[in-house]
Structure 1
């Protein structure tokens, strides 16, 4: 079974002696009694329910319920979902180009894939899928919705989306093969622009190729913008490669598991592909996990100026454990938190920008209403930060376009380019142009206004680390 590394290594130590892990602190007799209870309930449902039942579906739902009771990112992957996970990390899959999650009974869009059918139709992060082909998604799982959105290439699917403050919008989307272009590169005047949409097996290679191409196009390139906005994460190995591309030395990220000895740091190797030129990194509330590893490493090493809005705050590590070689699916279970080089925990906090800039007046209102919108902190059962620090509360962003500002203009990108022109010195940064609202630092709101009807939850599309297969025959006794 191939191994996929995402934002962390697991807390399962595998050696010649087999697996070593803490299974449970519940007395074994009580555990067996509860397992018997589960069997009794399943038997009663099978015999007494009003219509015949599918025991496989019931058991899979029970497994998923057990995992999601742990935290928002632990879950059971049915065999088909496990296959989908591997397809995504390889950079290609079929569908309409949406990453979705479930929260509070709603199916929500985490992010549309760049250039995919959904993105071209104007679907945005935070939209709620209310119906598919006229059938309500109420009560459906993410897997159910995903299955309904899939289909043969060229076929159409009618989806209704809800967006905060707007009328329901019905969109007809044509299914196609989604080839994920992880990195796009272009020139913005004298500066290189590098957009990373996801962290998959191709990201590191595509980034290197993009940088080399820009160097050939403009040998006098003056700096780079690295755009990680709405990038929900992916493979740890890719995040390390991307960070390493801009660093000469030092720690990139470390992981800390359940026990004090479960600490694993990752370090940069010599060789900055951009020769130390000024670097600005764009982030927002849709930048999560692997994106936060990169932004945190470059910020802590003072290699880049971070521009945009505070990132999502997903600082937990998932390990995927195939069950019976993947024939029975897999478990994706949280095994560690990850930390920036300075020792800061991202979990529920996020990476704060050096220059806080909203892209639009509407985006500024989102930040001013509640710190729980578009953040890991939205989950009631999210892991804590472990360092006693909390995410910044509701506030008005330092800079935000006014209502009359050109909605098509990318103000965050323009400010990132201004940062490069100032060579990262924010004291020399040009004043905000006319039409931009600025707020003195430290201005906080006494309390959030009424929260919007629709919230966006944490990206769950990270491809977690592939762990060892655990079977009933090799699970050790609890210690």
Structure 2
């Protein structure tokens, strides 16, 4: 059985969650549960408290009952106790203590999805696909992902030793020193030929302002003007919906970026770009994605693809198209509940299928990690199937036809330390593409303005 939950050493990744006001206790008559239902729950809790071989507190049993109820719904719904909720709030702000790695759970063992640039995990040369089999010489098999995260975290300056299983090699120990992780979500570079390169590692609270500043700096420093832009979303697990809308809106003049549709009228929302938001009108754009590009990354890629504002290159994205609502419970943490699905401007759902690139560019074999392919959303236990497109809005662009043809449950990941470097073959392909298409940049603007999406 495969079960995965994306986390960055405690950072809840790819959630694109929406926080809602504090919820009051649900009245019994509104819950749909009968007195007999409550009696069964209370009776089992009492049975465990009285007769289990070791003492267990009621608070621990209630917490585990909530986690069990929510975890079985889908891969992204969950219950967070008070400490986990506080950790998640700190993580979303882009600053937290730990080692700096994105991890998931597979077959009861934590697996590294990607290390974060400039962190202890990256400096130790940990790789996507590495399995963490022990922490401080204690087995991780069957330990919940949150408890693994708690063990990896600690006071800055303290050490932790983890045992790594990589491919067919023998396990080996790595000792890392914990530190405050400050995530620089936007990493810009102006190439000598006037092409701007922006890597977004996650969508956090600083992403929107940093992205705008990067483009402004490009325009000021590029002699002869910016000739093209590469937005690198590979290995970006997502983050804040608002940041994704802002980033896409910086390259669009009005019209739809993404819409949300759930069971209730209150769950229907549409997010539009500013009327004159495009900071690089006419400049050709390439967006790089891969199987670890999820959620907010897919919102940006899908919007720019549907609006004909960018060419999407790389490999099929992760396929997380669901919306999680964070519901705080006063004094008892919070519930993270899947409440809706994302749809691109043309009305296609991201869920399960993800975004198919316009130009497929695989990482060469020698640039793929040795730990094996990464799982995509479709392989996760309880993942929703794609519900099909909404009714297409006039002028929104044709829905993507290729997604179901190229969908797979795994993706060959690139070595994280190669992303954005001179030898990065996928980036080279994007730069070559822009060099060839820079002369036709005015056509890009005309297409984008002719397809503004639904209002």
Q: Do the two structures share a fold, i.e. TM-score over 0.5?
A: yes
1:156 and 1:395 mapped to 2: Cα distance?
36
Query: Deviation per CA, 1:268-298, whole angstroms, max 9, x where unpaired?
Result: 1112112331111110001000000000000
Within the alignment, does 1:392 sit opposite 2:396 as a pair?
Answer: no
CA separation of 1:158/1:364 partners in 2, compared to 1, >3 Å: closer, same or farther? closer
Q: CA deviation at 1:188?
A: 2.1
User: Cα deviation per residue 1:246-289 (whole Å; 9 max; x = unaligned)?
Assistant: 11121000000014674211111112112331111110001000
Structure 2 vs 1, CA of residues 128 and 281 (structure 1 numbering), >3 Å: closer, same or farther? same
Inter-partner Cα distance in structure 2 for 1:235 and 1:196: 12
Q: What corresponds to 2:392 in structure 1?
A: none
d(CA) in 2 for partners of 1:133, 1:28 = 44
Corresponding residue number in structure 2 for 1:82: 85
Q: Which residues of 2 match residues 304-315 of structure 1 at below 5 A?
A: 304-315=310-321
Distance 2:405 2:90 in 1: 34
Alignment of 1:149-168 (within 5 A): 149-168=152-171
Question: Alignment partner for residue 347 of structure 2, among 336, 339, 343?
Answer: 343
Say if 2:432 is the partner of 1:423: no
Q: Is the 8 A contact 2:15 2:76 kept in 1?
A: no
Mapping of 1:64-213 within 5 angstroms?
Answer: 64-190=67-193, 191-213=195-217
- Quote how far apart the aligned CAs of 1:378 are: 1.0
Q: For residues 312 and 363 of structure 1, do their structure 2 counterparts lie closer, same or farther at Cα, with a shift above 3 Å needed?
A: farther
SS in 2 for 1:423: helix
SS in 2 for 1:186: strand
CA drift at 1:377: 0.6
- Flag the 1:24–1:195 CA change in 2: closer, same or farther, 3 A: farther
Report SS of the residue matched to 2:70: helix
Specify the alignment match of 1:282 in structure 2: 288
TM-score (norm 1): 0.77
1:25, distance to aligned residue in structure 2 (A): 10
What's 1:374 paired with? 375
SS in structure 1 of the partner of residue 250 of structure 2: helix
What is the aligned partner in structure 2 of residue 217 from structure 1?
221
Q: For residues 110 and 82 of structure 1, what CA distance do their matches in structure 2 show? A: 22
Distance 2:167 2:435 in 1: 37
Instruction: Find the aligned partners of 2:28 and 2:438 in 1 and give their Cα distance.
Output: 49
Distance (Å, rounded) in 2 between the aligned partners of 1:46 and 1:163: 41
- CA contact under 8 A between 2:375 and 2:410: conserved in structure 1? no
Are the equivalent residues in 1 in contact too, given 2:136–2:160 (CA < 8 A)?
A: yes
For the residue of structure 1 that corresponds to 2:375, the secondary structure is coil
Indicate the residue corresponding to 1:247 in structure 2.
252
> What's the TM-score once normalised by structure 2's chain length?
0.81
Aligned 8 A contact 1:98 1:109 in 2:
yes
Q: What does residue range 349-364 of structure 1 map to in structure 2 within 5 Å? A: 349-361=353-365
Structure number with higher relative contact order (C-alpha < 8 Å, ≥ 6 residues apart) = 1
Q: The residue matched to 1:296 in structure 2 has which SS? A: helix
Once residues 66 and 294 of structure 1 are traced to their aligned partners in structure 2, the CA distance between those partners, rounded to angstroms, is 32
User: How many equivalent residue pairs?
Assistant: 401
- Measure how far apart 1:26 and its partner are: 8.3
- Deviations along 1:410-458, one digit per CA (max 9) or x if unpaired, are 00000000111121799xxxxxxxxxxxxxxxxxxxxxxxxxxxxxxxx
Instruction: Tell me whether 1:409 sits opposite 2:423 in the alignment.
Output: yes
Residue 226 of structure 1 corresponds to which residue in structure 2?
231
Distance 1:394 1:181, change over 3 A: closer
Does the Cα contact within 8 Å between 2:15 and 2:295 map onto a contact in 1?
Answer: no
* TM-fit CA distance, 1:59: 2.0
SS at match of 1:239: helix
> Are positions 1:301 and 2:307 aligned together?
yes
Is the 1:97–1:178 contact (alpha carbons within 8 Å) kept by the matching residues of 2? Answer: yes
* Separation (CA, whole Å) in 2 of partners of 1:242 and 1:136: 42
- CA contact under 8 A between 2:227 and 2:438: conserved in structure 1? no
Which aligned pairs between 1:415-454 and structure 2 lie closer than 5 A? 415-423=429-437
Aligned equivalent of 2:271: 266
Are the structure 2 counterparts of residues 329 and 8 from structure 1 closer, same or farther at C-alpha, using a change threshold of 3 Å? Answer: closer
Within 5 Å, which residues of 2 pair with 1:7-22? 7=16
2:324 counterpart residue number = 318
Structure 1, residues 146-166: CA drift from partner, whole Å, max 9, x if none?
111111111111112223344
- 1:175-209: CA deviations, max 9, x gaps? 01100101011122221110111111110001111
CA distance change for structure 1 residues 334 and 76 in 2, over 3 Å: closer, same or farther? Answer: same
| Partner Cα distance (1:238, 1:63) in 2 | 30
